[in-house]
Chain A
Amino acid sequence: MHVVLEKTLKNASSYFQNFLIHEYGVRGTLHAIDARVKLLSSFSFVILAVSTFDLEKLLFLLISLLAVSTVLGVNLKSLFKRVWLFTVFSFIVVSPFLLQNPEYPFLFTLRVLITLISLQLLVMTTSFAEICFAMRSFKIPQLFVHALWLAYRYILVVFQDIVSILLARESRRVAKGSHRDLWKKGGEAIGLFFLRSIERAERIQLAMASRGEKIFEMRAKVGMLEIIYITLSAFIILWWLAL
C-alpha cells in the first residue's frame, strides 16, 4: 500500500499546487475583470486558435495573448510553467510527421499552445466561485453549478479522508502483499472512502436544508474596465478574422 500512498501524494502535491495558485496568487489587472467577460473572451480565443492552421493568424493570436498577459499582470513565468508540458507532449505526439509534412507538427503544437494560454488567462486570474457565478449568469442549471461549487470546496477535505484511510491501513499492515493483494485491499479502501463520502453528503444535505440551501450569491457589474477588455478582445478577434 505504501507505493500507492507515495505515488498518490507525489501526484497530488503537484496537482494541489496548481489548484491553489489562482486563489492566492498575486492579483493583477486581469483578476479585477468580471469572470463572465473573461470566460467568453477565453472561449473565443480558443475557438479562433482551433479554427486555423494559418501561421500568420496563429502567430498574431499568440503575440496578442502574450502582450495582453504581460500588460495585465499575468506572470509569464508561471504561465509557461503551466503550459509547457502539454505543449511539448503534443509536439512529440505529432513529431512522426516531421519528414512527411515539416510544417504540420509546428502548427499543430502552436495551436495547442495558444489554446492552453487562452484558458490560463481565465484559470490563473479567476476564482472558482467567480467562474461558477459566471456559469449561473449564462443560465447553466442551478443544480449543476451548485454541485460544481460544492465539489470544488470538498476536494481537499475528501482527499484528506482518502489519505488517512490509506495511512491507517498502511500502519496496520504487517507483511508485504502481492499486486493482487494490493488491488483487493485498495478496492476495499476506496469502498470505505465512498461510504464515508456518501454519509458526509447526507449530513451536508441535512445541514444545507436546515440553512435554506443557499450555496453562494455573488453580484458583479460590467464597468469601464470590462468595456475596455471587451474592446481589446473584439479588436483581436476582428483583426484575426481580417487576416
Chain B
Amino acid sequence: MHIPDGYLDLSIAGIFFILSFIVLGYSLYRLRSEKLTSLFGVLSAAIFAAQMLNWPIPGGTSAHFVGGSLAGILLGPYAGALAMAIVLTIQTLVFNDGGITAWGANVWNMAIVNVFLGYYLYQFLSKFNRNLGAFIAGWLGITVAAIFAGFEIGLSTSFAYGLSITIPVMGLWHAILGVIEGIITAGVVAYLATRRADLLEKKEVGRASFALIAVLIALSPIFAYFAEIVGYSEPLENAAEMLELEESPIYEGLLPDYTIPGLDPYIGTLISGAIGVMIVLMLAYAVRYARSSRKDT
C-alpha cells in the first residue's frame, strides 16, 4: 500500500502532506506532557518487526500484517498515529519503501485513517463483542486505508489509471487480505485481554478533536479533488501568463535555448547538453577534491 514517488501529482501529494502535518502536529500537542519517547520508539520498532511476518494464505501466497488498527487500540489514536508515522518514515528513509513526496499520503492512509478508524470501530464494537470489534477494526481499517490510497493515485493525472480502476483494485484486494489483518488483530487483542487488560482500556480522546479529525478524514478526498482541479505548474509561469508578460531576456546566455548560434539546432542541443554534463562532472570533481583536502587537514 506504500505509494512510491512518481505516482502522485504534486498538488495531491502537497494536500496530504498538509493534512498529515495537521493531525500529527495535533497528536504531538496532545501528548506533549507525557514521557512517551521510549514507548513510541520501541513499539514502532515492534510494529515494524511484526510487519515482516508473512502469513500463508491457502493457495500458496502470503500476506503481511500492517498493524495500524492494533497500534490505535494499544496506544490510543494519537500515540498510535505517531508510532505508525515513525514506521513509515523509517521505511521511506532507510528502505526506500514509499516515496518521499508521497510520505504525506502514506501517513494519511496508514497512520491516520487506519489508526483512527480502527480505534473508533474497536471502541464502538467492543461494547458488544471485544474480539469481533477487534476483527472488524483490523479488517475495515486496512480496507478503507487502501481505498484512500486508490483514490489518491486514481485522481493523479501522472498515473494513467482512473478512479474506476484504482479504487476497486485497491479496495477489493485489501478487503480480501484484510481478513488476515482482522484475524491477527483479534488474536492479539484476545491474548492481551487475558494478560494485561489495562492496555486495552479506553484512551482519553476529546470529543471536539475526534469530530475535527473525522471531518478532515471525510473531507480529504474533496480537498484532493480540488487540488487536482487547481493543478500544479510553475508559479512564475502562471504569474507571467496572468500578467500577459512575454520573455525578453537581458542576456541570452552563451547557449541561448540550448543551441549554438550558427549550428544546426539538433547538433547545438547535443553539444550544449554535453557541455552541461561536463559542468556537472567538473563540479562533482570539485566536491571530491574539496573532500580530499578536508581529509588532509
Contacts and interface: CB of A to CB of B under 8 A. Distances in A.
A191 B53 CA distance: 13
A144 B86 contact: yes
Contacts of B160: 94, 97, 101, 104, 108
Instruction: Please classify the interface of chain A as helix (H, G, I), strand (E, B), loop, or mixed, using the class held by over half of its residues.
Output: helix
A72 B287 CA distance: 8
Nearest to B189: A191
Given A46-B100, A205-B37, A208-B37, A151 B4 contact: no
A149 B5 contact: no
B214 interface: no
Contacts of A209: 35
Contacts of B283: 228, 231-232, 235
Contacts of A94: 159-160
A137 to B, nearest CB: 15
B294 A32 contact: yes
Contact of A42 (B100, B191, B277, B280): B100
Given A47-B101, A155-B48, A208-B37, A228 B287 contact: yes
Contacts of A24: none
Interface of B: 4-8, 10, 13, 24, 28, 31-32, 35-46, 48-50, 52-58, 62, 64-65, 70, 74, 82-83, 85-87, 89-90, 92-96, 99-101, 158-160, 180, 183-192, 195-196, 199, 232, 234, 258, 273, 276-277, 279-281, 283-288, 290-291, 293-294
Interface of A: 3-4, 7-8, 11-12, 15, 18-19, 22, 29, 32-33, 42-43, 46-47, 49-51, 53, 60, 63-64, 67-68, 71-73, 82-83, 86, 90, 94, 97, 101, 104, 108, 111-112, 115-116, 119-120, 122-123, 128, 131, 141, 143-144, 146-155, 157-159, 161-162, 179, 182-184, 186-188, 190-195, 197-198, 200-202, 204-205, 208-209, 213, 215, 223-225, 228-229, 231-232, 235-236, 239, 241-243
Given A90-B6, A235-B279, 12 more contacts: A71-B287, A90-B4, A143-B82, A148-B89, A155-B49, A158-B48, A179-B56, A182-B56, A193-B50, A197-B46, A225-B290, A232-B287
